[in-house]
Amino acid sequence: YWDGVPVGNIALGCGWVSVRALVRFKIIIGAWIG
């Protein structure tokens, strides 16, 4: 996968690269919501 939703969910569960994944996730959600 890519630095997006799947990686964000895995990071929350496993705790790897959680900060970066959450930042990417917030950016993606922000872009979708506009």
For every residue of 5-22, DSSP letters joined together read: HHHHHHHHHH-SSHHHHH
pLDDT for position 24: 84
pLDDT for position 31: 86
Paired tokens of 15 = 């705790």
pLDDT for position 6: 64
Every domain of the chain and the residues it spans? 1-34
pLDDT for position 2: 47
Whether the Cβ atoms of residue 24 and residue 10 lie closer than 8 Å to each other:
no
Amino acid present at 3: D
**Chain centre distance of CA 3:** 6
The pLDDT tens digits of the residues spanning 1-34 come to 445 566 666 655 655 556 777 788 888 888 887 6
Total-model pTM: 0.38
C-beta atoms surrounding 10 within 10 Å = 15
pLDDT for position 21: 74
